[in-house]
Structure 1
Amino acid sequence: MEEPIVINLKLNQITLPPPFLKWAGGKRWVSSRIVEMIAPLTGKYIEPFLGSGAVFFALRPAQALLSDINFELINAYNAIKINPENVLALLREHQAHHSKDYYYRIRSYKPSCMFHMAARFIYLNRTCWNGLYRVNRNGEFNVPVGTKSSVLMSTDNWFAISGILQSAKLVCGDFEDSIDVAEKGDLVFADPPYTVKHNLNGFIKYNDALFSWGDQIRLRDALVRAKLRGVRVIVTNAHHASIRELYQEHFLLESVTRASVLAGSSAHRGRFEELLIY
């Protein structure tokens, strides 16, 4: 179990919990390594694929721009930043009523209030199968209920999370927009969507549904432009020949190994190489 991180928030010492979302491809497993590479940071921290925000929460920068194309994800962060007490109260209601039938009722529910939307998002993330985020062609969340029933956890500290988020501007938008505003001395950490399971088997075709090859090229070009402006760049991506070729002219490449957890049973899980690009 990870040791909690102790931070100074205003005049009080508050124990900061780990990231509150379970996210496919999340970088909690390598966040300490990335934080070592980043420190010291004098400029702004920019993360254009926010997800669970593992590196942001481990680093706790003084200034940050956090963005993602997923509106519900950004809304959840904003709701916690603005009023964590409201989100907590709604999560307590979800905990009290949780069941298989309740899960599917909430999954089909379409709230308009930002706090109800955020609580629904967190509830589904914590009780769906493997914390997977997936939508159908209509943009509707369609992951089945999982085996976990804990909506609230002992490590939760919504007020500490809210405090950390006060230093961040949260934006829903395309990754290129966030990278292009980075200035000399800033740090961009980019963790685009990809799967490592198909590194050697139909990688481009399989990953195109997650993040197109055109987007991979667009991301590389945006990061090269940032580098030329004096921006520090760190990227995580799949360890595949096509990705190595895409970045090797402009950046240093390092292989890191991780365990895959997105499988129905441990027998189908394994260890995979990923690329650290900087």
Structure 2
Amino acid sequence: MTQPLIQPSALNREPVSPILKWAGGKTRLMPELLARLPESWDAYYEPFVGGGALFFRMGPDQARISDLNYELVNVYTVTRDRVNALIAALKGLEYNRDTYYGMRALDPETLDPVARAARMIYLNRTCFNGLYRVNRRGQFNVPMGRYRDPVICQTDRLLKASVRLQQTDILHAGYADAVADATEGDFVYFDPPYQPLTSTANFTSYTAGAFDEDDQAVLAKTFTELGERGVRCMLSNSDTPLIRDLYSEHHIDRVMAPRAISRKATGRAAVAEVIVRNYEP
């Protein structure tokens, strides 16, 4: 992945909104992230893409986004390659209890890519708080939300996202494989499952696996190794002693981030996070 350096003027492009609601999404933290981007970069990598707020805001000319959540990867791939078919599938879905639990009960592996992406977007738009959660068997298990009239098919947003995804490499892969070919001058943004602030605040069930302290340590090692290769890296995570210790050799900024998804509205107050960089502020 090589190209001329992307200049900051690329950020003057029309912002594109994420097409999925996502726990830990970075829309509300966007000013802090944009203020800390490197001055220039070659290829852009986002290996824990989630809702992709930073990717969609930046609109890099050449990028690779990836995730271990196959449903998520499929949504982005279909949005890039078959957006009109996706829009048609979404327009045929209604918001009611029978449709919701019928869609939730479907085995996504039995569906074609377009139907699978439409199922994912439908559940995301209509489930409780837009939360994505699976059980140990990998089955989506979030109950139906209570909305007056949710917009299931955001046609304009999907079309704009499709345009932005056209030059993007989309992978179903772990972060290590996704950034393996990053070279000097490239830029990687890591937004991994956060280190829980408490024993009950674990929101890492976006795939059937988990992301524990050992995984955080391996990620920190990858972050350092990429820097040694001349790759610029930025990472978001919780402001915890473990995270500060793992990234103590790098630049750490403390920021306050609103919580968009919580079971109770009172649990959505701003909390402290860190933004870590391996390049000079």
TM-score normalised by L of structure 1:
0.87
Give CA deviations for 1:217-243 in whole Å, capped at 9, x if unaligned: 111111111000000010000100111
Match of 1:29 in 2: 28
Do the aligned residues in 1 keep the contact of 2:87 with 2:155 (CA within 8 Å)?
A: no
Give CA deviations for 1:215-272 in whole Å, capped at 9, x if unaligned: 11111111111000000010000100111001012x1000010122322332333221
Following superposition, the deviation at residue 206 of structure 1 comes to 4.7
Matches within 5 A, 1:195-210: 198-199=196-197, 201-202=198-199, 206=202, 210=210
Change (3 A) 1:208 1:20: closer
Do the aligned residues in 2 keep the contact of 1:188 with 1:232 (CA within 8 Å)?
A: yes
Q: Secondary structure at the match of 1:89?
A: helix
Match of 2:121 in 1: 122
Write the distance in 1 (CA, Å) between the matches of 2:203 and 2:103: 30
Do the aligned residues in 2 keep the contact of 1:16 with 1:160 (CA within 8 Å)?
A: no
Do the aligned residues in 1 keep the contact of 2:15 with 2:58 (CA within 8 Å)?
A: no
Following superposition, the deviation at residue 75 of structure 1 comes to 0.4
Match of 1:194 in 2: 194
Do the aligned residues in 2 keep the contact of 1:123 with 1:151 (CA within 8 Å)?
A: no
Match of 2:257 in 1: 258
Match of 1:45 in 2: 44
Write the distance in 1 (CA, Å) between the matches of 2:117 and 2:212: 28
Matches within 5 A, 1:103-142: 103-110=100-107, 111-142=110-141
Name stretches of at least 5 consecutive residues in structure 2 with no aligned partner: 1-10
Do the aligned residues in 1 keep the contact of 2:236 with 2:273 (CA within 8 Å)?
A: yes
Write the distance in 2 (CA, Å) between the matches of 1:208 and 1:74: 17
- Higher mean C-alpha displacement, 165-174 vs 16-25: 16-25
Give CA deviations for 1:64-107 in whole Å, capped at 9, x if unaligned: 0100000010000000100110110011011xx22012100010
Match of 1:152 in 2: 152
Q: Percent same amino acid at aligned positions?
A: 34
State the superposition RMSD in angstroms. 2.2
Do the aligned residues in 2 keep the contact of 1:47 with 1:189 (CA within 8 Å)?
A: yes
Write the distance in 2 (CA, Å) between the matches of 1:171 and 1:212: 23
Give CA deviations for 1:139-193 in whole Å, capped at 9, x if unaligned: 1101000013423366843222111001210000111112222110000000001
Change (3 A) 1:82 1:213: same
Q: How many residues end up aligned between the 2 structures?
A: 260
Q: Secondary structure at the match of 2:71?
A: helix
Match of 1:98 in 2: 95
- Higher mean C-alpha displacement, 256-265 vs 180-189: 256-265
Change (3 A) 1:208 1:53: closer
Write the distance in 1 (CA, Å) between the matches of 2:174 and 2:40: 24
Match of 1:84 in 2: 83
Match of 1:10 in 2: none
